[in-house]
Amino acid sequence: MKKIFAFLMVVMMLALTACGGKEEAAKEETLKVGIVLSIGGLGDKSFNDSAYRGLEQAKKDLGIEFKYVEPASPAEDEQFLREFAENGYDLVVATGFLMKDATEKMAKEFPDVKFAIIDEVIELPNVSSLVFSEDEGSFLVGALAAMMSETNTVGFVGGMEVPLIKKFQRGYDMGAKYVNPDIKVLGLFTSGPNPFNDPVRGKENALSLIKQGADVVYHAAGGTGVGVIDAAKESGVYAIGVDSNQDDVAPGTVLTSMIKNVDVAVYNTVKQVLDNDFKAGINRFGVAENGVGTSDFANTKDVIGEEKLNKLKEIREKIINGEIKF
């Protein structure tokens, strides 16, 4: 009897140990994601906020853990990327083209860690390059700007004068001239040490364009764009937001926003890692993939009118089916 009892005790202990092991394994299997935000950080109502929303949604839906850091300058990017890679994070997200060199260096140094970079291409087997067709989305808002302009002049305020931001500008210019070949499209880029987080300079640039006749001003300048919207509101003209839905920053002033669904791209990448289906290489998000587009015109639908909105839908379909080429 004693032998039977002892045997049962051993079985029970083994079972409890196995259960404990499973619980510990489950804890260990929680996916850890680290994200290095770009200049402007959280609260930019733009690019960073969108990336953060993607991780918040992944935490809610998928049960992941994540940590974010906000570098004071690009010089800190490599340090933060390294800290995530060294501390057992399964996926490290770099938000923005300014982090390309640092991300490439860390991805080579930590080949077993998965990285994702937004708005740049790094050709390594452990890097997912999340790129967007900003020119397609900007074409749409450029077309709308031309439809709404009463002065035959619209404007664009960019952050740094680099290929990515010029891609926004090019699409905007193409869209405006698709609707009105004679329209004037003005443009300025933000100089200074913080081109994506300088609302004062953004406002100055926008006011300069408005003085030259622009009655719709589109920005692709991150936190600098807050100043652009403020200038438009102050001057009684329209602004167009970017990256996130900025329509409620100044309801009625912000005509629409060129939404860049960074949150969707980040969420999808996290899910791929969780499902052991990580896709290295270029992952592109255009109008057809709902990666870029316009906001829902919640505050401006009536002033734009059904005729113009229908025309915009037609243009969107032409982009999707390839009639409009970039």
The token duo for 253 is 């002033």
pLDDT at 3 over 60: no
Strand extents, DSSP E, the chain: 32-36, 65-69, 91-95, 114-118, 127-132, 153-158, 184-189, 216-220, 238-243, 254-260, 281-285, 292-294
Q: What is the pLDDT of residue 46?
A: 77
Give tens-digit pLDDT for 183-241. 999 999 998 889 999 999 999 999 999 999 999 999 999 999 999 999 999 999 999 99
| Residue 277 CB contacts under 8 Å (≥ 6 apart), including other chains | none
Same domain, 126 and 219: no
pLDDT for 60-81, tens place per residue? 999 999 999 999 888 999 999 9
pLDDT of residue 317: 98
Percent of the chain with pLDDT over 90: 84
Q: How confident is the model at residue 26 (pLDDT cuts 50, 70, 90)?
A: very low
Task: Place 17 in a pLDDT band, splitting at 50, 70 and 90.
Answer: very low
Q: Are residues 160 and 66 in the same domain?
A: no
315 and 249, same domain (yes or no): yes
Size (the chain), residues = 326
Q: For position 191, what pLDDT does the model report?
A: 82
Same domain for 223 and 176: yes
pLDDT tens-digit readout, 40-54 = 789 887 789 999 999
Confirm if 65 and 31 have CB atoms less than 8 A apart: yes
Q: Is 155 exposed, middle or buried (0-12, 13-18, 19+ CB in 10 A)?
A: buried
Q: What is the CATH number of the domain that holds 248?
A: 3.40.50.2300
Does one domain contain both 156 and 191?
yes
Place of tokens 């764009």: 225
The count of structural domains within the chain is: 2
Asked if residue 116 and residue 128 are part of one domain, the reply reads: yes
> What's the pLDDT score for residue 198?
95
Q: Is residue 96 part of a domain?
A: yes
| Residues 85, 162 within the same domain | no
**Residue 29: what pLDDT?**
81
Whether 158 and 219 have beta carbons less than 8 Å apart is answered as yes
CA 282 to each of CA 95, 108, 127: distance values in angstroms, whole numbers, following the listed order = 15, 17, 9
Can you give the pLDDT at residue 45?
Answer: 77
Same domain for 304 and 273, yes or no, is: no
Q: Are residues 279 and 301 in the same domain?
A: no
Same-domain check for residues 200 and 313: yes
Residues 121-148 pLDDT 10s: 999 999 999 999 999 999 999 999 999 9
| Cβ–Cβ < 8 Å for 299, 233 | no
What is the chain's mean pLDDT, rounded?
A: 92
Q: Are residues 59 and 197 in the same domain?
A: no
Q: Is 14 a member of any domain?
A: no
Q: How far is the C-alpha of 192 from the C-alpha of 198, rounded, in Å?
A: 9
Q: What is the pTM of this model?
A: 0.83
Identify which of 123, 108, 50, 39 has the alpha carbon closest to the alpha carbon of residue 75.
39
For the chain, the distance separating the N- and C-terminal CA atoms, rounded to the nearest angstrom, is: 84
83 belongs to a structural domain = yes
Pair (145, 251) in one structural domain: yes
Does 13 or 105 have the greater pLDDT score? 105
Decide if pLDDT at 249 tops 90. yes
Instruction: Identify the CA nearest to 213 among candidates 144, 147, 152.
Output: 152
Residue 1 has pLDDT above 90, yes or no: no
Of residues 261, 185, 188, 195, the one with CA closest to residue 222: 195
Cα–Cα separations (whole angstroms), residue 310 to 166, 293, 304: 28, 15, 10
Question: For residue 188, what are the domain limits?
Answer: 134-259+296-320
